[in-house]
Structure 1
Amino acid sequence: MKKLFITAVFALGSLTAFAQEEQATEAQDAATEVQDQATDAATEVQDEATEGAAEGQEAATEAVAQDDFSEIAVEEVPEAITTMIETNYPGATVNGAAKNEAGHYKVEVSLEDGTSGALIVDEEGNAVEQ
């Protein structure tokens, strides 16, 4: 009888250990599921933020597109602009020009040292910030 009692205690202990292991596995599975849900939610938020940034960039591009410049003949550049270039960039050559609907001019200029760039100015030759 004593042997039977000891065997029953060992069996009960084994069942208890098995049940605890089962609970631990279930808890770990639940934790993994919560972590997966959190990762999915974070990914969704990140995707929405990226999409919002892309929409903002598109809006900025559209705003810039409204300031598109149309090429004009160099001779059409107002005298105030050519005078400003001669004064501030002695020896510079005007290679091209364009104008936008806002009345701003984009003037392509080459300097004597070989550098070149574009000046964006109003019709009086004042710099325009873009």
Structure 2
Amino acid sequence: MKKLILATVLSFVGFMATAQEAATDVQNEETIVVADVQDFEEISVSDLPEAVAAAVAKDYPTASIDKAYKNASNQFKLELSLTDGSSGTVYADAEGNWIEM
């Protein structure tokens, strides 16, 4: 008799779990700005907006900007070198916000 009651309770719990799972609607509204990598043209590092240069100085204090590129959407591709010898590429908009590529 105990097994029958336990089986009934477990069945009920299983049905409730699947019913609740189907009723749950999760919406993820995340905006990612994506730039077309092919459209960048090289510019002089001195032509970078002050906000972009300030963002590099703030977030990468040991980095130097080796090359800078700009696209038609006013987004910037920066090739950086760190004092420890490592290097990398970062992307930013004209306001100095980092963009994921």
The TM-score with structure 1 as length reference comes to 0.48
Of 99, 116, 123, 2:70 maps to: 99
Of 54, 79, 83, 2:50 maps to: 79
Q: How many residues align?
A: 67
Which structure 2 residue ranges, 5 or more long, are not aligned? Answer: 1-34
AA aligned opposite 2:99: V
AA aligned opposite 2:80: V
Identity %: 42
AA aligned opposite 2:91: I
Higher relative contact order (CA 8 A, sep 6+): 2
| Segments of 4+ moved more than 6 angstroms | none
The TM-score with structure 2 as length reference comes to 0.61
| SS across alignment from 2:88 | strand
Tell whether 2:86 aligns with 1:115: yes
Larger proportion of helix: 1
Shift of 1:68: 1.2
AA aligned opposite 1:80: A
Output aligned runs, 1:1-130, within 5 Å.
64=36, 67-130=38-101
Which structure 1 residue ranges, 5 or more long, are not aligned? Answer: 1-62
Query: Which of these two proteins has the greater Rg computed from alpha carbons?
Result: 1
Larger proportion of strand: 2
Q: What is the CA–CA distance in structure 1 between the aligned matches of 2:46 and 2:65, rounded to whole Å?
A: 10
Q: What is the CA–CA distance in structure 1 between the aligned matches of 2:36 and 2:65, rounded to whole Å?
A: 24
Describe the shift of the 1:78–1:96 C-alpha distance in structure 2 as closer, same or farther (beyond 3 A): same
Please provide the CA RMSD for this pair.
1.7
